[in-house]
Amino acid sequence: MTQPPTRNLIKNIFKHFINSFKPRQLKGNYMGEDYFGNKYYEIPANPAIGQRRNQRWFEPTEKEAYGQEVTAEWEAWLRGRRKEPPTREELMRNLAIMKMKERNYAALESKNVKAKDAAELEKKTTGMGSFPQYEEYEVMPGKGKGEK
């Protein structure tokens, strides 16, 4: 019958003392860059020295500016919600989607501003309630805009 290994306090103290003299990685591995110009770095986890998680950080383009923007993909990587850093293609695809949404919003907003201006003019002349009227909504269910 074999005995379970015992915890040797002196041996553990000596082992950790020797490991404290081993060189540590101080400079991170370059992982990538986003379209804002921020650079991202990582030092992999090393359980031998008690480091269980990867150390991840970014260097902003402007060192003194506060409130730097970080893309959602890189933020997920920084916080450990994703293991692999985002690829350049993924960042460009999501940037194109974001720009398309901004264009669609601007077009819809200009259309709504025109409709709002027209509704205000109509409201002044007809005395309708304080609710805005849009072309895509019916005034009465089943009837068009001009019908009553």
Other residues' Cβ atoms within 10 Å of the Cβ of residue 120: 12
Give the pLDDT confidence score for residue 135 in this predicted structure.
73
Partner residues linked to 40 by β-bridges: 32, 58
125 has a pLDDT exceeding 60? no
55 has a pLDDT exceeding 60? yes
pLDDT-based confidence at residue 147 (cuts at 50, 70, 90)? low
Sequence letter at residue 115: A
Helix (H, G, I), strand (E, B) or coil at 76: helix
Q: Which of 5-9, 53-57, 62-66, 89-93 has the highest mean pLDDT?
A: 89-93
* Beta strand 29-33 pairing with 55-59: unpaired
pLDDT-based confidence at residue 30 (cuts at 50, 70, 90)? very high
89 has a pLDDT exceeding 90? yes
Every domain of the chain and the residues it spans = 27-60+71-86, 102-148
Q: Distance between CA atoms of 56 and 17, rounded to whole angstroms?
A: 26
130 has a pLDDT exceeding 70? no
Tokens at 78, concatenated: 């920084």
Tokens at 115, concatenated: 């409709």
Q: What is the mean pLDDT of the chain?
A: 82
Residues 6+ apart with CB under 8 A from 91: 34, 35, 71, 73
